[in-house]
Amino acid sequence: MQINLQHVPKTSYVDLEVLYDTVIVGGGPAGFNAALYAKRKGLKTLLITHDVGGQLENTSIVDNYLGFHTIDANDLTKAFLDHVKSLEVPIITEQYIRKIEKKDGIFYLSMANFDMVQSKTVVIATGGSHKKLGVKGEDEFANKGVSYCAICDAPFYKDKHVLVAGGGNSAVEAAIDLSKWATKVTIVQRSVLRADKILIDKMNEIDNISVILQTSIKEIIGSITMEGVKTINNQTLEEGYIEADGLFVEIGTLPNSLLVKDLVELNGYGEIIVNSNQETSLEGMYAAGDVTNEPFKQIIIAASAGAKAVLSLDQYLKTKK
């Protein structure tokens, strides 16, 4: 899912010659809220993003964002965008940042089209990308049975049979969450379970969770929505089929941190390490949302981190003055 960009100008209210107080890179919940807070603080602000929506593109309905019982993810993205646009925040969309340099206390951000902007601070809010199985039918049935967020979509599978692909902590945690809603939850893992023992023990106490090991999903089958998956046993090479109403892919995420890998400290997962004020190891550079080492990848947490980043950098700019 992707928001219609027809009415989103690729460049609006943008002056490439000005020295901005902050440039926000990323157009998801963290980036949008950072832009909102920066504008309200009276900072010269610019938001640059290629895609609009971030991880909201990977879900259909949101029912755990405060203030909305349920809301279409596309509508929530539009609400975020409209709010930021109403404040006349300069926005450049459909554009990547190819390089960031810092010289004499100023950040220089070069875009893919080789335009350059300058800023006193930068907020990296580039999010993360869910790892995909890479099998036939995965893209076709995305948001039509295939999901990447158990917390987001579990209630939509009440009294149904769902599969969880993966064997790490996130997969077992997803299975536990889903077991509260689904009639049956089946973990399908290509090798063995790698989750922490305490999680596996907790899962084993739940009657409606079963585990199939040494088995890979080869294809997702369905018509209008997903109806099941084709599998193969990695030891016997026996092929099989599992009928199910949904599939939750829980094989990890990849932080979109390549842009700053040589500028800031990353952890072993490639996530940007930030402190409680969203500060990175590079003075004047902040990060928020799924690209950071924040353990809980949720819309509301990303949005709040964007606010924290700007409140922090605003204090930083005041001390610099």
Residues with active-site annotation = 149, 152-153
Bridge partners, 116 (sequence order): 110
Contact, 166 vs 250, CB < 8 A?
A: yes
Q: Phi/psi zone of residue 145: left (φ > 0), alpha (ψ -120 to 50 degrees), beta?
A: left
Distance CA 265, CA 232 (A): 40
- What tokens appear for 237 in the block? 């090479």
| End-to-end Cα distance, the chain | 43
Residue 198 burial (CB < 10 Å; 0-12/13-18/19+)? exposed
Tell me which amino acid residue 282 is. Answer: L
Tell me which amino acid residue 121 is. Answer: T
Residues in Cβ contact with 105 at an 8 Å cutoff, skipping those fewer than 6 apart: 120, 284
Q: Tokens 């987001």 map to which residue?
A: 152
